[in-house]
Structure 1
Amino acid sequence: MNYKGLSFGLGIFSIALGAVEIIANRRIAQAMDQDDDAARTTLKAFGVREIAAGANLIAAPAHSTNMWNRVAGDGIDMAALGIAVTRAPRNPAVWGAIAFVAAAATVDILTARGLDRETGKASPKRAGEGDAAARQHERAGYSSIEPQGLTRAAAPAVA
């Protein structure tokens, strides 16, 4: 499976979802019987978080840390929906949102784990970092998508 391509696609999806949460926050809040200032503000904040997560995924789709950040966002969404379901336990829109977030979280987790296995890259490396980590990944059988044999520049030590 092409986890990097899936990660990139999820980045585009995140941006679209975030835009919807910002633009249609009143309609979403009304549908879920949560139409108050706090709910609309929360939806806007979640929209901003989704757009940021999407931008990170588009910028670096091979880095599993970006996908794990989306998984953390799914957890936050699920917690907010847990509060919403206590306020409107019979609302099908709330239960639909819970199902949607659960499905998205499943895809996000599978993609993050796939990226962990496929690339072995948790996050972008800074200059001078990662040489020991790269050797450890090689010993563990992970492959890297970074070119081999390049020297890394290191910043001078601060005394």
Structure 2
Amino acid sequence: MRYEGPRSPRRGHPDTATDALARGLGWFSIGLGLAEILAGGAIARALGMRGQEGLVRAYGVREVATGVGIVTAEDPTPWIWGRIAGDALDLATLAAAYDGNGRKDNLLIAAAAVAGVTALDAICADRLTRSTAVPMPHIGNYRTRTGYPRGIRESRGAATDVEGSEGMLTPALLKPWAA
């Protein structure tokens, strides 16, 4: 489905290939999340993670929410970065399940698949971030400024010329210890 009309380019940046990649990752996220929610038990068994069905389903809810955010947002950049954070969580969970796992081959295949999708997420996030970044305005060159309106020489000793400056130099409570 192409997005045409007044909202095109839909995301507010000129790179439609990156926009299409982001939308594709969003739909992938929705599909993967639905699979994790509906078949969390089967996925957990296939990965040798019995007893972790609830965790797999919770990760599915996260995937669906992130996917919907990507597909519906005008700027999907933060949602794509959210996918990367979710991928890191997925990889950490798979790594934690590795020791003593009878299905290590399946676990390694899943980790490789997540790592591949993470690479796509990172490419997309980088391109989106670069295309939507607002450059910092020029703030001027203040290298020759000193911060002293009348110059450094005029400012030396200025605090001692103020009436009643004795209390300014050393507070009464500190006078017994002043040198």
Using structure 1 for the length normalisation, give the TM-score: 0.72
Segments of structure 2 that go 5 or more residues without pairing to the other structure are: 1-14, 139-179
2:109 pairs with 1:96: yes
Distance in 1 (alpha carbons) for counterparts of 2:74 and 2:36? 23
Q: Which residue of 2 aligns with 1:9?
A: 24
Equivalent of residue 46 in structure 1, options 50, 59, 67: 59
Q: Which residue of 1 aligns with 2:127?
A: 114
Q: Which residue of 2 aligns with 1:81?
A: 94
Asked whether the equivalents of residues 36 and 59 of structure 2 are also in contact (C-alpha less than 8 Å), the reply is: yes
Q: Which residue of 2 aligns with 1:58?
A: 71
Asked whether the equivalents of residues 7 and 61 of structure 1 are also in contact (C-alpha less than 8 Å), the reply is: no
Distance in 2 (alpha carbons) for counterparts of 1:107 and 1:67? 10
> Aligned residues: percent identity?
34
User: What is the aligned length?
Assistant: 123
Distance in 1 (alpha carbons) for counterparts of 2:89 and 2:126? 20
How far is 1:90 from its partner?
A: 5.6
CA 1:106 to 1:10, structure 2 compared with 1: closer, same or farther past 3 Å? same
Q: Secondary structure at the match of 2:99?
A: helix
Distance in 1 (alpha carbons) for counterparts of 2:55 and 2:34? 14
Asked whether the equivalents of residues 3 and 115 of structure 1 are also in contact (C-alpha less than 8 Å), the reply is: yes
CA 1:19 to 1:90, structure 2 compared with 1: closer, same or farther past 3 Å? closer
Letter of the aligned partner of 2:125 in structure 1? A
Letter of the aligned partner of 2:41 in structure 1? R
Moved >2 Å (runs of 4+):
none
CA 1:25 to 1:108, structure 2 compared with 1: closer, same or farther past 3 Å? same
Using structure 2 for the length normalisation, give the TM-score: 0.64
Q: Which residue of 1 aligns with 2:170?
A: none
**Aligned positions of 1:128-147 closer than 5 A:** 134=134, 136=136
Larger relative CO (CA 8 A, sep 6+): 1 or 2? 1
Larger Rg: 2
CA 1:92 to 1:6, structure 2 compared with 1: closer, same or farther past 3 Å? same
Q: Secondary structure at the match of 2:98?
A: helix
Letter of the aligned partner of 1:86 in structure 2? D
Q: Which residue of 2 aligns with 1:19?
A: 34
Distance in 2 (alpha carbons) for counterparts of 1:16 and 1:71? 17
